[in-house]
């Protein structure tokens, strides 16, 4: 299956700052990548679908101006949390299908804490 | 009503025991079904897909009941390493795209020595 990496693994930042999270597909050219968010003891929730070379598609309730997604190459998608607030503290995970429809390959996740 | 509902547990069972848990889904148009495993502070990993005829992978057996809209996972001869959160995942997208994936909150399983 596809191998997906994410950086950083965890980050602590102050309220009002912006944080960029990178998601890389190491062995698969991913035209589409997905960004999820998971709050403690909650489900993974799809935030947006990142499309290489075009605009991301955001799920209802997710602010596109706050969560900036850039998918400039087939192996890299970035999520920037702008003007972060404590309520943005969460576990952010990216994934790709690796070319299969029935399986998602997840990155190791990024734990964001906003103080 | 929640789209994918699971008993959060935790289920505490002794090593070697057999344990089963269920998941119900609300969308009758759901196309495909999965069990994922998530360890603490880690990403989910696919455990197995769930087929209408039921399927088995080693100590793990998954069943799907479309009429009642529930999915089950049975773990036999449980190991300490089976301790994790098990996520029930349902896909409503006809082509199986990830934008149709809906995750349950997970069932927390603790295997005790």
Given a contact cutoff of 8 angstroms between Cβ atoms, the answer to whether A114 and A15 are in contact is yes
pLDDT attached to residue A103: 73
- Which residues in chain A are closer than 8 Å to B87, comparing Cβ atoms? 43-44
Chain A residues touching chain B at CB-CB below 8 Å: 32, 34, 41-46, 49, 57, 91, 93, 95, 97, 101-104, 106-109, 111
The pLDDT tens digits of the residues spanning B86-98 come to: 999 998 776 666 6
Please state whether the peptide bond connecting residue A8 to the residue before it is cis, i.e. omega within 30 degrees of 0. yes
The pLDDT tens digits of the residues spanning A31-87 come to: 889 999 999 888 899 999 998 888 899 999 999 999 999 998 889 999 999 999 999
């Amino acid at each position: 299956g596809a191998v997906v990496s994410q950086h950083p693994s965890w980050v602590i930042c102050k309220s009002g700052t912006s944080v960029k999270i990178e998601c890389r597909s190491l062995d698969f050219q991913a035209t589409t990548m997905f960004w999820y968010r998971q709050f403690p003891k909650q489900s993974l929730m799809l935030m947006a679908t990142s499309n290489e070379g075009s605009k991301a598609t955001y799920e209802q309730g997710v602010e596109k101006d706050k969560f900036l997604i850039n998918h400039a190459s087939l192996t890299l998608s970035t999520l920037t949390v702008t003007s972060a607030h404590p309520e943005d503290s969460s576990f952010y995970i990216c994934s790709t299908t690796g070319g299969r429809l029935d399986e998602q390959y997840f990155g190791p996740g990024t734990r964001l804490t906003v103080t | 009503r929640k789209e994918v509902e699971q008993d959060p547990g935790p289920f505490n069972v002794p090593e070697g025991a057999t344990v089963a848990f269920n998941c119900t889904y609300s969308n009758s148009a759901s196309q495909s079904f999965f069990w994922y495993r998530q360890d603490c502070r880690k990403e989910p990993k696919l455990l197995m897909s769930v087929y209408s005829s039921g399927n088995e992978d080693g100590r793990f057996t998954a069943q799907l009941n479309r009429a009642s809209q529930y999915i089950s996972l049975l773990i036999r001869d449980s190991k300490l390493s089976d301790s994790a959160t098990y996520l029930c995942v349902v896909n409503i997208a006809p082509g199986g795209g990830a934008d149709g994936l809906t995750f349950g909150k997970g069932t927390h399983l603790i295997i005790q020595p």
